[in-house]
Amino acid sequence: MPLPYVLLSAAVSLDGYLDDTGPERLLLSSPADFDRVDEVRASVDAILVGAGTIRADNPRLLVNSAERRAARTAAGKAEYPLKVTVSATGELDPAARFWHTGGEKLLLTTDDGARRARALGIAADTVPLGPVLDWRAALEYLHDRRGVRRLMAEGGGTVHTQLLQQELADELQLVLAPLFVGDPDAPRLFGPGGYQGGRLRLVESRRIEDVVLTRYLPTAPGTGDRVSAADRHWLALACELAELCPPSATAFSVGAVVVAADGTELARGYSREGGDPVVHAEEAALAKAGPAGPRLAAATVYSSLEPCARRASRPAPCARLILDAGVRRVVTAWREPDTFVPGADGSGVLAAGGAAVVVLPEYEERAKAPNRHLEG
Ligand SMILES: NC(=O)c1ccc[n+]([C@@H]2O[C@H](COP(=O)([O-])OP(=O)(O)OC[C@H]3O[C@@H](n4cnc5c(N)ncnc54)[C@H](OP(=O)(O)O)[C@@H]3O)[C@@H](O)[C@H]2O)c1
């Protein structure tokens, strides 16, 4: 199921707090950074905060710049992004500014929470998602029913922790403010629990007045059939690698990446890499990944095209090479068409060998792009 791109945004003190315990919201960002946040808000389809943030901060969550709002309308979008909150209890203040400013508002809640919110007269579209609120179901609802493709989650710590731990966050935008809070009762950005094991990828760091913005992407593959946000990043990279292939009239252009369970890239490759006219992407990547061992047994292979099941150019097809390397998880964008090998079923070979195969069709067009010359 395609989900929205989920961007977590937060400002944090040097000792890791989101706020203090005083009655007023602690201002951690600088004026120029608040303007950057306004720009990010203007670029998304929806902004989400937890009910705790509405209770603590009473925020409006608007796009403040009139120019940015005008640009949204000129582009055929709503003047303001959809404002979304989540609550299990539905215990929310009907007079909170969240409900009475900006454009459309949505409360995603439980069955009990919806009854409570309706009784309180909350001025929002109230959607119960069952006895408990499951984040994947909530994101699927936003994607499928509300057309949300980019979602900015602006906290608080409970929401950020859950989205990151459940591997649903595509990006973290973190602003480090040069001050300390030092109060153990103040809310922290991330709570205890299970996070991805390895390192996230730092994709940007920028000084903005006296704060520093850092942007990170998660890197850890999902497990089995469960898709993580990082799976989508790695598959997008495999599709980019496919663009590097020397074109051929008799073979597909494919990219592949091998990634360890902790998110470390082990190897990458693409078709006909290094002047070898017949090498396949997965074969090229696996040749660099080293011998079979525990690391490969827990690794994921990302391939823009389903690994081949039969080939004339070499004795072993890629599905077999992957199994022989010990890899038991493959993520791909595009099932192999009948162009060269009718009825190829690399996924079937992999599944018969005990590997999980995940197909993310939302990347199929990107995987096909360097192969257009083979169509028709
Ligand atoms: N510095 C920053 O960038 C920043 C940004 C935002 C917020 N903050 C600060 O963060 C603090 C608030 O953080 P917080 O952790 O207390 O609250 P929060 O994350 O904003 O909201 C937590 C609430 O959201 C609802 N919720 C979360 N996950 C849910 C789930 N899976 N199912 C159903 N409901 C769910 C629950 O509401 P119910 O209790 O109604 O069931 C829960 O109590 C405030 O002090 C605020 O100032 C700072």
pLDDT above 70: residue 376 = no
C-alpha of residue 160 to centroid of ligand 1, in Å: 8
Nearest atom of ligand 1 to the alpha carbon of 49: 20
What values do phi and psi take at 71, rounded to 5? Answer: -65, -35
In the chain, where does the domain assigned CATH 3.40.140.10 lie? 229-374
Q: What DSSP string runs through 248-288?
A: -SSS---EEEEE-TTS-EEEEEETTGGG-TT--HHHHHHHH
C-alpha of residue 288 to centroid of ligand 1, in Å: 45
For residue 7, give the 3-state DSSP assignment. strand
C-alpha of residue 49 to centroid of ligand 1, in Å: 7
Task: Kindly state the DSSP code that residue 69 receives in the 8-state scheme.
Answer: H
pLDDT over 70 percentage in the chain: 100
Question: What is the pLDDT confidence band of residue 13, given thresholds at 50, 70 and 90?
Answer: very high
Peptide bond into 255 cis (omega under 30): no
pLDDT tens for 275-292 read 999 999 999 999 999 887
Q: What is the CATH code of the structural domain delimited by 5-217?
A: 3.40.430.10
pLDDT tens for 319-343 read 999 999 999 999 999 999 999 988 8
Mean pLDDT along residues 224-249: 97
Peptide bond into 354 cis (omega under 30): no
CB 29 within 8 A of CB 134: no
222-237 residues labelled b (16+ CB within 10 A) or e (exposed): beeeebbbbbbbbbbb
pLDDT tens for 27-42 read 999 999 999 999 999 9
Its CATH architecture, for the domain 229-374, is 3-Layer(aba) Sandwich (3.40)
Query: Which protein residue has the closest C-alpha to ligand 1 atom 38?
Result: 87
pLDDT tens for 342-364 read 889 999 999 999 999 999 999 99
pLDDT above 70: residue 259 = yes
Distance, first Cα to last Cα, the chain: 29
Q: Where are the alpha helices (DSSP H) in the chain?
A: 31-43, 51-57, 66-74, 97-100, 111-120, 135-146, 157-165, 229-242, 281-288, 294-297, 318-324, 346-352, 364-368
In the chain, where does the domain assigned CATH 3.40.430.10 lie? 5-217
Q: What DSSP string runs through 134-147?
A: -HHHHHHHHHHHH-
- Separation CA 236–CA 369 (nearest Å): 12
**Which residues line ligand 1 at a C-beta cut-off of 6 Å?**
10-11, 18-19, 25, 28, 49-53, 56-57, 86-89, 91, 133, 135, 154-159, 162, 187
Considering only the C-alpha atoms of the chain, give the largest distance between any 2 of them, rounded to a whole number of Å. 72
Residue to mutate, 159, 163, 190, ligand 1, most ligand atoms under 8 Å from C-beta: 159
Q: Which residues pair with 326 in a beta bridge?
A: none
pLDDT over 90 percentage in the chain: 94
pLDDT tens for 117-171 read 999 999 999 999 999 999 999 999 999 999 999 999 999 999 999 999 999 999 9
